[in-house]
Amino acid sequence: MTGNEEYLYNFMEGRRKRFVIPVYQRNYNWKREQCKKLYDDLVDVHRNNKKSHFFGSIVSVNDDNKTFTIIDGQQRLTTVSLIMIAMVNAVNHGEFQDEKDIRTSKRIYEDFIVAEDDDVNKLRLRPYNDDKEALSSLVFDPEDMYKKESNVTVNYRYFYDRIINNHELTLTELSDAIEKLQIISIELKPDQGDDPQLIFESLNSTGLALEESDKIRNYILMGIPADQQEHLYRNYWYKIERLAQNNLEDFIFNFLMIHAGKVKSNQIYKAFKDFAKDKNNESILSSLLKYATIYNKLITHDFDDPQANLIKERIDRLNITTPTPFLMSFYNLYVEKQWPIEELRNVLSVIESYLLRRTICGYQTNALRSMFAGLHQRIMKLIGTNDISYSSVMIYLLKNMSTTFPNDEMFKQAFGESAVYNLRPYIRSYILDRLERKNNAETINVFEKLQTVQKNEKRFSVEHIMPQTLNEAWVGELGGDLSKATTIHDKWVHTIANLTVTAYNSELSNSSFTKKKELVYNNSTLHLNKFVSNKDQWTEKELKERRNILVKDALELWQYPETDFTPTTAVSQQVTLDEDDFDFTHKQLSSISIMGVEFKKPTLEWKTAMIWALKQLFDLDPQPLFELANDNVESYIVGSEVDHSTKVADNVYVYLNTDTNTKIRLLRRVAEKYHLNEGDVTDDIVLTLKPEE
């Protein structure tokens, strides 16, 4: 490796030089912010007569004395090239007619932009990916043929417009300022042992930080011959990017959740390197492409079945992505086994019901990532070689795992009594849309009309029949007694019984029921308003009636599924500390694991497991336990021996003569101190319970 300071002009200058952006590099993605700062810096360099301006590093491999493969710095190199092209085009369009500027333009064109001696590749800078055509079009095509959607073109337009409109610098002055951009040029020598991938990872680039998916692409494609890079990029990576659309990182995260175990979203690159170690790059990409095709079907709701598409669209409206790795695994098997379409519909419907019921009943989603990540494997283990439907086993597990699947009684009470209006707006809209449309896709799409509005259409809004603010008129509507009216209002105002959807002026929201009925509900075509329009008053009696109707609809729309599957052997439960609704009373422990290290015994006492866990964590890092021992708030971990306490280490004792749920609360406190079970995967600590007979 050799490195030295030099001016960017010197690095780029030379009519025989070519700069190749390899296929593993990300597309050009500097934003307006970075472009503006660079141009501002160039103006500042000229106005303050600065001798130089540091512009970061450029790392390259000199392939044949004239072709330089750019390992790092392509964003800066491309951006400066866009400024130069804008300068040349400004002259060609007659915007600058000074003789000096014309000469400057000609020199830039010949020395930095085109390769006149090459009949095939005319550009000196040669991107791959989607940038190649866009850059070429700026140089050789008329303006109406530019690739307007490309970021290359967008940033070129910024520079071109600023050059011709602001007149901050002449072209000659701008060229002089560019000449003062100074870089650190690092030339790698792979034949002498330089590893481009390791060096690339260690660089502290001054441009935009690489995404995890950028690092993964580089890891796969860097360091192999150019023809292999081209083959792998065109036949796999390019297709994967398109299938994942703008969700490449999310796709890779879910792929790794399936193939590499549970992964934290901020450690995708590390997890991928561990997964890819000793594997063939093409086989990895082949697997990625296969699952990217599945992922695309999930995010675009494209199952070749309108009913399945509609169910998946509804699931996505809940904005809960934790089932994705499970659904990818299931769909892969579904296609492989050629199961009937009813199985796909059934699995999706159960997932929709499971997620909505938990949301209504107030259960957290923290533990679901870990649960869904292992659900497919648990189903397959129970199926074995038996002829059992996948969905029947899935239903059994969802109803018997530690993450609660609320039954009809739990759901009925929560749906009728909870403040549905206070849910996140998109969930609220989803619920009202389902109640309005049932399973009829041809009716008015309430969800979309609550989110957006087409031209010349009124936007729908969620309406409180009894208004949010209790006024004098509505005290009268509710019987005339302020105290009783307030009690009724507080109990019912945000519940589903008092909510509907309208497309009228919000100024009417506090009007009397009679006026709202006359102007709004009587003229509404929505099913949600039929019951309201048939009533002459709106009191607690009508609220109870409407609640009962909507609860009945909800039980039908989000069914509690039944299954005839019963396992031949008892199934153990795995519980993470995030499942704070789980009752550990009378539960027997089978094993405990901390960050993948498991401790199990034929008979494992809770106290024994707690001591083991605390000692494991102490060995990992003693400081958090010392801090807890000296924390006056924490009474179960202390710094000196007390009656019935157990020694964990010198100056750390724990009192465990408590019930099981109290022990779990203490373990949660310790886990929080160690920053465990944080993020999207919450199984740093897992408790396996003995199966109940």
User: 3-class DSSP state for residue 628?
Assistant: helix
Whether the predicted model's global pTM rises above the 0.85 cut:
no
Count Cβ neighbours within 10 Å for each residue of 226-253 and write b for 16 or more, e otherwise: eeebeebbeebbebbbebbeebbbbbbb
d(CA 21, CA 76): 12
The residue whose two tokens read 């003995």 is: 690
Reference 682, options 369, 260, 398; nearest CA is 369
Q: Contact 685/671 with Cβ under 8 angstroms?
A: yes
Contacts of 215 (CB under 8 A, 6+ apart): 201, 269
Amino acid symbol at 658: T
Q: For residue 53, list its beta bridge partners.
A: 181
Contacts of 349 (CB under 8 A, 6+ apart): 311, 559, 561
The residue whose two tokens read 């079009």 is: 137
Q: Contact 123/15 with Cβ under 8 angstroms?
A: no
d(CA 441, CA 299): 19
Looking at residue 692, what DSSP letter applies?
P
Cα–Cα distances (Å) from 633 to 572, 630, 674, in that order, read: 35, 9, 17
Count Cβ neighbours within 10 Å for each residue of 291-323 and write b for 16 or more, e otherwise: bbebbbbbbebebeeebbbbbbebbebbebbbb
Distance of CA 564 to the CA centre of its chain: 36
Q: Where are the alpha helices (DSSP H) in 13-73?
A: 32-47
Tokens describing residue 587: 């539960």
User: Which parts of the chain sit beneath pLDDT 70?
Assistant: 1-3, 15, 117-121, 190-210, 453-457, 505-507, 679-680, 692-693
Contacts of 28 (CB under 8 A, 6+ apart): 74, 75, 78, 127, 131, 151, 152, 155
pLDDT in tens, 561-571: 999 998 877 77
3-state SS string for 263-321: CCHHHHHHHHHHHHCCCCHHHHHHHHHHHHHHHHHHHHCCCCCHHHHHHHHHHHHCCCC
d(CA 558, CA 554): 6
